[in-house]
């Protein structure tokens, strides 16, 4: 299923770009308002692209979580070694 957030952001981008193009064509020049709409449309375009790819990354990680050990269970590899046992010097301040 498509990400609805990406769809809404994409439609908003298209509406802002169209409004900017119409404003430019009506005035015959590029005004500050047209530049503001163009800048906003760029922000919404970037947000829609990020939302689109964020949804696809989430699907890829769903299967990988089943192979992970339970949280809170510390294995021998995760435990830190005792510095006194391994011959490390303990600094005295």
pLDDT digits (tens, 9 = 90+) for 27-63: 888 889 888 988 888 888 888 888 888 855 555 555 5
Q: Is residue 72 a part of any domain in this protein?
A: no
> Is 78 a member of any domain?
no
Residue 85 inside a domain? The answer is: no
- The residue-averaged pLDDT of 71-84 equals 68
Distance CA 42, CA 38 (A): 6
Q: Is 0.85 surpassed by the pTM of this model?
A: no
Question: What is the tally of structural domains in the chain?
Answer: 1
How far, CA to CA in Å, does 90 sit from each of 78, 82, 84, 86, 87? 21, 11, 7, 11, 9
Evaluate whether residue 81 is within a structural domain.
no
Give a yes or no: residue 51 inside a domain.
yes
Return the axis-axis angle of helices 32-60 and 4-27, rounded to nearest 10°: 160
Q: 74 is written with which tokens? A: 């510390």
67 vs 25 pLDDT, higher one: 25
| Calpha distance 59→89 (Å, rounded) | 47
Residue 13 lies in a domain: yes
Residue 63 lies in a domain: no
Domain that holds residue 34: 4-57
Structure tokens at 59: 């699907």
């Amino acid at each position: 299923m498509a990400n609805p957030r990406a769809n809404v952001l994409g439609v908003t981008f298209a509406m802002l770009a169209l409004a900017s193009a119409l404003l430019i064509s009506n005035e015959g020049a590029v005004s500050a308002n047209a530049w503001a709409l163009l800048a906003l449309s760029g922000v919404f375009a970037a947000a829609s692209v990020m939302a689109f790819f964020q949804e696809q990354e989430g699907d890829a990680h769903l299967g990988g979580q089943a192979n992970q050990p339970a949280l809170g269970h510390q294995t021998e590899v995760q435990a830190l070694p005792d510095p006194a046992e391994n011959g490390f010097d303990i600094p005295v301040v």
